[in-house]
Amino acid sequence: MVIIVMGVSGSGKTTIGKMLAEAMRWQFSDADDFHSAANIEKMSHGISLTDSDRLPWLQTLHQVISEWLKTNTNAILACSALKSEYRHLLQPTDEVKWVYLDGSFELIQQRIRARHGHPIKESLLQSQFDELEVPEDAINVDISGTPEASVRQISNNLSI
């Protein structure tokens, strides 16, 4: 099974995804690690990616997810997956489950301001909220609490 922890930048995908993977003893990967150098460069300058920028990245992620499923590798992937069409591309089977990290603009903006060394700039946050299509088929997690509370909520909602 593959669980994709999704949400806008700053929602805690990597932190919560790593903690969940550790608790479940599953593999963890961050979708940001699969971006091209050109995409990272654009984002580091506060330039939003277009769908055509994202397509090769999404295709690579689809291949990675398919390989995990083929080899029976249980994995957690942290990935923004803001649009329904992206999620559709990333879900080759129903063995892919979604977790949506839900938080207010203000909360996530505070978190982005507090972190250093991340390529996503605060200036891109509004465009991420503008693009976000809230999933209907995901475990919805309110991130206003601690990451530990979010991991507990996810674990309680998974029937694994």
Q: Do 92 and 66 form a contact (C-beta atoms < 8 A)? A: yes
Which pLDDT does position 100 carry in this prediction? 98
Which pLDDT does position 122 carry in this prediction? 58
Which pLDDT does position 11 carry in this prediction? 95
Compute the mean pLDDT over every residue in the chain, rounded to the nearest whole number. 91
What average pLDDT score do residues 15-23 get? 97
What average pLDDT score do residues 147-157 get? 95
Which distant-in-sequence residues (6+ apart) come within 8 Å of 76 by Cβ?
Answer: 2, 3, 4, 5, 17, 18, 20, 21, 24, 26, 27, 28, 29
Q: Do 89 and 58 form a contact (C-beta atoms < 8 A)? A: yes
Task: Give the CA count within 13 Å in the CB-facing half-sphere of 79.
Answer: 30
pLDDT in tens, 35-86: 989 988 887 787 878 899 999 999 999 999 999 999 999 999 999 999 999 9
Q: Domain span at residue 120?
A: 2-157
pLDDT of 113 higher than 70: yes
Which pLDDT does position 88 carry in this prediction? 95
Q: Find the range with the poorest average confidence among 48-57, 82-91, 107-116, 142-151.
A: 107-116
Which pLDDT does position 79 carry in this prediction? 97
Which distant-in-sequence residues (6+ apart) come within 8 Å of 48 by Cβ?
Answer: 42, 124, 127
pLDDT of 133 higher than 70: yes
Give the CATH number, domain containing residue 45: 3.40.50.300
Q: Model's pTM, two decimal places? A: 0.90
What average pLDDT score do residues 127-149 get? 94
C-alpha closest to that of 16 among 132, 155, 117: 155
CA 12, 156, 82, 19 torsion-angle sign: positive
pLDDT top residue among 38 and 4: 4
- The residues pairing with 90 across neighbouring beta strands, listed in sequence order, are none
What average pLDDT score do residues 12-36 get? 96
What angle do the packed helices 51-70 and 37-44 form, to 10 degrees? 130
- The residues pairing with 100 across neighbouring beta strands, listed in sequence order, are 6, 140
Number of domains in the chain: 1
Location of structure tokens 């479940």: 24
